């Protein structure tokens, strides 16, 4: 190996890192969006959460949706990807993946993860976007556009 190159373990240690999260866009037959109310935050969000060490984002989405709302859904296409800069006490960027988890009946049996969630609701997309905080609302809007267009959107 040439002397001006670091050994792989040292080189990898120099690379930037980010936190990952993964969410599912779930709608009912009327197009209403499933959102959840975490008891540890002061706002609503999409079902999902943090990607665990070594876990693929689509697997995290499937796991988080099952844990939070009791729905066993296989994530479909990646709809949106959102990079958020470091902020406040968070020293690294957050990258959020939003997968298409399809449509369920409005009367689907939802089983909330009581340790983390206080409520859920199926709400019209515009209302859901208003209920989400400003940093998260663009993810939902982008995911809905991407689902309709059949593509993936990078949220800025």
Please state whether the predicted TM-score (pTM) of the whole model is above 0.75.
Answer: yes
CB atoms closer than 10 angstroms to residue 100: 21
**pLDDT tens digits along 26-79:** 999 999 999 999 999 999 999 999 999 999 999 999 999 999 999 999 999 999
**In whole angstroms, what is the distance from residue 52 CA to residue 62 CA?**
12
**pLDDT tens digits along 96-140:** 999 999 999 989 999 999 999 999 999 999 999 999 999 899 999
**Is 3.90.79.10 the CATH number for 16-155?**
yes
CA distances from 110 to 83, 106, 152 (A): 30, 10, 28
Question: What's the confidence (pLDDT) of residue 156?
Answer: 85
Q: Can you tell me the mean pLDDT for 77-106?
A: 96
User: What would the two tokens of residue 28 be?
Assistant: 């009912």
Question: Residues with Cβ < 8 Å from 125, sequence gap 6 or more?
Answer: 31, 32, 33, 140, 141, 144
Q: Report domain extents, the chain.
A: 16-155
User: What would the two tokens of residue 77 be?
Assistant: 């296409």
**In whole angstroms, what is the distance from residue 31 CA to residue 122 CA?**
9
pLDDT surpassing 90 at residue 21: yes
Question: What's the confidence (pLDDT) of residue 135?
Answer: 86
Question: What's the confidence (pLDDT) of residue 1?
Answer: 47
Contact yes or no for 73/103 (Cβ under 8 A): no
**In whole angstroms, what is the distance from residue 74 CA to residue 96 CA?**
18
Q: Can you tell me the mean pLDDT for 143-154?
A: 98
């Amino acid at each position: 190996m040439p002397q001006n190159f670091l050994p792989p373990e040292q080189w990898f240690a120099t690379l930037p890192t980010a936190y990952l999260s993964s969410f599912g866009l779930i709608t009912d037959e009327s197009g209403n969006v499933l959102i959840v109310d975490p008891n540890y935050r002061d706002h609503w969000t999409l079902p999902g959460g943090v990607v665990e060490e070594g876990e693929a984002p689509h697997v995290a989405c499937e796991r988080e949706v099952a844990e939070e709302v009791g729905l066993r859904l296989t994530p479909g296409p990646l709809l949106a990807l959102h990079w958020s800069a470091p902020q406040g006490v968070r020293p690294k960027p957050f990258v959020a993946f939003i997968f298409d988890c399809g449509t369920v009946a409005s009367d689907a049996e939802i089983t909330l993860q009581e340790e983390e969630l206080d409520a859920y609701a199926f709400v019209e997309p515009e209302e859901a976007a208003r209920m989400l905080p400003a940093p998260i609302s663009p993810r939902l809007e982008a995911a809905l556009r991407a689902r309709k267009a059949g593509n993936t959107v990078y949220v800025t």
